Amino acid sequence: MTVNSYPGPDTIRRHILSNGITVLVYENMSSATVSIEGVVRAGSVVEPADKAGLADFTADMLMRGTHKRTFDEIYETLEMAGAGVAFGSASHTLGFSSHSLAEDLDLALDVIVESLCRPVFPAEQMEKLRGQLITGLQMRANSTRSMAWLAFFEMAYPNHPFGRSSSGYLDTISAMTRQDIVGFYERYYGPRGMIIGIAGAIRADDALRKIESAFGGWRNDDQQVVPIAPEAPRPSGIVRRHVPMPDKHQVDIVMGLPGPRRSAVDYLDASLMNTILGVFGMMGRIGQNVREEQGLAYYASSRLAGGLGPGAWTASAGVALDKVDLAIESIRHEIRRIIDEPVSEQELADSQAFRVGSMPMSLETNGGIADIITDMELYGLGLDYLHRYGEMMNDITIERVQAAARNYLSADNINIAISGPVEAL
């Protein structure tokens, strides 16, 4: 797919239903399939601290039984058609998706509508799911990587929704009741703020007609607005926490800071800066220095979350027992270097080419297209975003990269979470 053929204002049909649902359709008649991606404004940011995991639990219950089908009937129906439907909760949204042959779109859409609009939350399925979630939390407690990430978010976002585990904890999941789930569903699930993206072998008029028929009658006059997460404080000095796991051999490190929202004017600058620092090639400068040149880590990279809220910038690494402090100092060195020294013209050009050249790969599937056009609506990027993307990325200068690093990074005021054997420290 070339830039001229990217989805844009002339090829994306946008329509708002009477109940407030925004629908975007991209026709791809050369395909045999149709994909749907969507979001409902119901996420973990509104969970009380003593109900951590409630949004996830609710999302996972949606396909456990509806007024029309049991849990087994839902999955048998999908399997017979070779179709897939999934739901998953995030901080500000519930996400849903489907992929099917064009001839089976009505079936996939029916499962989505039944699960989203008419779930029954059967008690016996809730107990089965509770057991699975508790098993997952027990496995998390045995993973150095998972525990390092858990500790990092608790440090980086004190008294903040992002500081709580969206998967919950053993005590919160164990105590969750069916009424908790029903109450969360009734308060936050509804059409207001909902977005549906469709891509594939269907005409826009047909897609809009199907969505109107499926969702046009959905109402929830009591639906509450999910607020956007507030800013988070930056640390003063180096804040370090260790999660003791004495029976382990590897140490996992996660270090970083609250970062920019996706709506920040310099988000792409920060994103490209992070590509140079911890993504491009052998995981950027961090991967090249910490893993390839010094051999300090099994893996080392960085990432920038973005999102509706102040998602984190993080660097992470898995290291041997005797390499913890040296790996941390090496990552801090790379943070200082990108703050204090302009990146080279070659680094900038290579990373820009990588980012621009990667876009067609994101658009190779109908699912990828549906996902991107949904995000374009969610983050207010505009229908011409993909057409502007290459120019916006290539317009970023060395000075803008350094400004983003200075704005969002710090080697001396940073959260560092370490998980592994006590004797490693």
Please report where in the chains the tokens 């649902």 appear, as a residue.
21
Average pLDDT over residues 164-174: 98
Q: Please name which of 315, 291, 318 lies closest in space to residue 303, comparing C-alpha atoms.
A: 315
Query: Which pLDDT band, with edges at 50, 70 and 90, does 325 fall under?
Result: very high
- Residue 3 confidence class, pLDDT cut points 50, 70, 90: confident
Mean of pLDDT over the chain: 97
Q: Does the pLDDT value for residue 51 go beyond 60? A: yes
Give the pLDDT confidence score for residue 109 in this predicted structure.
98
Mean pLDDT of 126-145: 98
Closest CA to 286 of 326, 323, 332: 332
How is residue 289 written in tokens? Answer: 């220095």
Give the pLDDT confidence score for residue 29 in this predicted structure.
97
Contact 7, 373 (CB under 8 A): yes
Give the residues across from 39 on adjacent strands: 95, 195
3-state secondary structure string across 14-77: EEECCCCCEEEEEECCCCCEEEEEEEECCCHHHCCHHHCCHHHHHHHHHHHEECCCEHHHHHHH
User: What would the pLDDT profile of 383-404 be if each residue is shown by its tens digit?
Assistant: 999 999 999 999 999 999 999 9
Q: Sorting pLDDT into bands at 50, 70 and 90, what band is 215?
A: very high
Specify the length of the chain in residues: 425
Domain 7-215 identical in fold to domain 238-373+380-424: yes
35 vs 51: CA distance, rounded Å: 33
> What secondary structure does DSSP assign to 88-131, as a single string?
EE-SS-EEEEEEEEGGGHHHHHHHHHHHHHSB---HHHHHHHHH
Q: What is the mean pLDDT of residues 117-138?
A: 98
pLDDT for res 423? 60
287-296, pLDDT tens digit by residue? 999 999 999 9
The number of C-alpha atoms within 13 Å of 372 and in the hemisphere containing its C-beta is 23
What class has domain 238-373+380-424?
Answer: alpha beta
Q: In this structure, how many other beta carbons lie within 10 angstroms of the beta carbon of residue 421?
A: 17
- Between the CA of residue 365 and those of 27, 33, 78, 290, what are the distances in Å? 12, 10, 20, 35
Is pTM, for the whole model, over 0.85?
Answer: yes
DSSP 191-211: STT-EEEEEESS-HHHHHHHH
Helix or strand (DSSP H, E) at 420: strand 414-420
Q: Residue 422 above 80 pLDDT?
A: no
Per-residue pLDDT of 338-366, as tens digits, reads 999 999 999 999 999 999 999 999 999 99
**421: pLDDT strictly greater than 80:** yes
Average pLDDT for 293-305: 94
CATH 3.30.830.10 fits 7-215, yes or no: yes
Do the Cβ atoms of 57 and 181 come closer than 8 Å? yes
As a whole number of angstroms, the distance between CA 268 and CA 7 comes to 20
pLDDT tens track for 53-92: 999 999 999 999 999 999 999 999 999 999 999 999 999 9
Does the pLDDT of residue 425 top 80, yes or no? no
Q: What gap in Å lies between CA 84 and CA 96, rounded to an integer?
A: 11
Q: Which residues pair with 85 in a beta bridge?
A: 98
Q: Where are the domains of the chain?
A: 7-215, 238-373+380-424
Between CA 107 and CA 22 the distance in angstroms is 21
Q: According to DSSP H, which parts of 141-177 are helical?
A: 144-156, 170-175
Closest to 13 measured CA to CA, from 211, 203, 216? 203
Residue 240 reports pLDDT greater than 90: yes
Query: Distances in Å between the alpha carbon of 415 and those of 152, 410, 423?
Result: 7, 10, 21
17 Cβ neighbours under 8 A, 6+ residues apart: 23, 191, 211, 212, 215, 216
Query: Residue range 243-271: average pLDDT?
Result: 96
**H or E stretch covering 315:** strand 312-319
- Range with lowest mean pLDDT among 169-173, 289-293, 329-333, 420-424: 420-424
Residue 194 near residue 18 (C-beta atoms within 8 A): no
What would the mean pLDDT of 226-245 be, rounded to a whole number? 96
Would the pLDDT of 309 be above 50? yes
CA atoms of 247 and 142, how far apart (whole Å): 9
Confidence class of residue 248 from pLDDT cuts 50, 70 and 90?
A: very high
Assess contact for 296 and 319: CB atoms under 8 A.
yes
- Looking at residue 424, its pLDDT comes to 47
Mean pLDDT to the nearest integer, 190-212: 98
Within 13 Å of residue 259, how many CA atoms lie on the same side as its CB?
27
The residues, any chain, with a CB within 8 Å of residue 356's CB and separated by 6 or more, are 389, 390, 393, 394
